Structure 1
Amino acid sequence: MPYDVPPDLAGLSLADAAALLAARKLPPVETWTPAHCGDSAMRILADGRWLHEGRALTRPAMVRAFSSLLVRDAKGTHWLVTPGQKLSIAVEDAAFLAVDVTRQDGALLFRLNTDELVVAGPDHPILSRGDPDTPALYLGVRHGCEARLNRSTYAQLVALALDELGDQDDPENLAVTSGATRFSLLPA
């Protein structure tokens, strides 16, 4: 099946993004209860690279396919789930990287390292972790999995937050709004 790379974020309206999101058919991993559990011998590094038995997966289509099968349980363990098996996968930080962000029609639209699009909101919250000296921002993706914002996307989001602050000049209120939801960019 051919893969069409989504257009540049800046060129998408929120309606365009919604249409692309609606067209993407993800497997119903939340309904599968496979009998066999094991280890996938896979690892997702903090920089977003995927490894199998220590060797990099170099085919982006394979990474996209595997990423559509990811879930994270309440204990924080990541799993690749198919109808026949559930295999653990080691994740150094987050399963995805957010590599771009734009504000469209009052919402924040993110692109992940898998070329997926995510609109921040109640179902896909922006989470601030770490401490004031070393903050880290994450985006809820699906099934408990998250994307860590890479450095440039983090900087883009802070610039958007500073625009929202305007003349207030109160860094204690550094936050962004997506739709009707406001997200603090400061660790609690």
Structure 2
Amino acid sequence: MPYVPPPELASLSLGQLAEQVAARKIPPLDQWSPQEVGDSEMRIAADGRWFHQGGEIRRPAMVRAFSSLLMREDAEDGAGQHWLVTPFQKLSIEVEDAAFIATDMQVKLDETGRPALAFRLNSDDLVVCGPEHPLRVAGTDEVPAFYLAVRHGTEARLNRSTYGQLIDHALTLGGEQLAVESMGERFALVPGA
């Protein structure tokens, strides 16, 4: 069966987006205890492209399948080891920056009018920023880097146009500090704030 990507983010209501997220069946990596540990000979470049033994993986469906098996240990500092996990194997994978790239952002409103920031990733995953998927700002004031928690310790780095959308949204809100809110959480958009 061919892979059909989800609809464009802008066309989805928050409820439809939640349905799309729920429909994505993610394996229960945290419940698996594989005995075999090795090296996948795979790498995720900083621009989000996947490579195996030096050759680029060009099939989006393969990248999407592999991305559902990703986890990161010691994720608190943003520098933990990434793994591809199956019930039988745990294979290291080199990740140059983040496992995913956020390629689009839309501001949605829940039924009470509370804002929710919805992101599409390069894997076609849809993620709603909030308590379970917080935003993290790294880098410097001159060169900030924005990251969104995805799942199992992995993160998505916002690409330039997506963090531009985020900053534009924050500027429309005004306020003394550059910040946004999503699903009841407030996220400062200045490194170290």
Which TM-score applies when normalising by structure 2?
0.93
The correspondence for 1:174, drawn from 171, 178, 182, is 178
3-state SS of 1:98 partner: strand
Read off the aligned partner of 1:29 and give its amino acid letter: L
- In 1, Cα distance between the equivalents of 2:4 and 2:63? 15
Q: Does 1:101 align with 2:105?
A: yes
- In 2, Cα distance between the equivalents of 1:2 and 1:161? 38
Gaps of 5+ in 1: none
3-state SS of 1:142 partner: coil
Gaps of 5+ in 2: 110-114
Q: Does 1:130 align with 2:139?
A: yes
- In 2, Cα distance between the equivalents of 1:179 and 1:87? 34
Which TM-score applies when normalising by structure 1?
0.95
Hey, which bits of structure 1, 4+ residues long, moved more than 4 A?
Answer: none
Instruction: Report what 1:5 is aligned to.
Output: 5
**RMSD, matched Cα:** 0.9
- Quote how far apart the aligned CAs of 1:54 are: 0.5
Give per-residue Cα distances to partners, 1:110-134, cap 9 Å, x unaligned: 0000000000001100100011111
Read off the aligned partner of 2:151 and give its amino acid letter: R
Asked if the contact 2:131/2:183 (under 8 Å) is kept, the reply is no
Asked if the contact 2:44/2:51 (under 8 Å) is kept, the reply is yes
Give per-residue Cα distances to partners, 1:21-71, cap 9 Å, x unaligned: 111111111111000000000000000000000100010000000000000
- Quote how far apart the aligned CAs of 1:164 are: 1.1
Greater mean deviation of Cα atoms: 52-61 or 67-76: 67-76
Instruction: Report what 1:59 is aligned to.
Output: 59
- In 2, Cα distance between the equivalents of 1:85 and 1:45? 23
- In 1, Cα distance between the equivalents of 2:2 and 2:61? 10
- Quote how far apart the aligned CAs of 1:178 are: 0.5
Read off the aligned partner of 1:163 and give its amino acid letter: T
Identity percentage of aligned residues: 60
Instruction: Report what 1:48 is aligned to.
Output: 48
Read off the aligned partner of 1:97 and give its amino acid letter: I
The correspondence for 1:82, drawn from 81, 86, 94, is 86
Give per-residue Cα distances to partners, 1:140-183, cap 9 Å, x unaligned: 00000000000000100000000111xx4x4xx10111121110
Provide the aligned length of Structure 1 versus Structure 2. 183
- Quote how far apart the aligned CAs of 1:2 are: 2.7
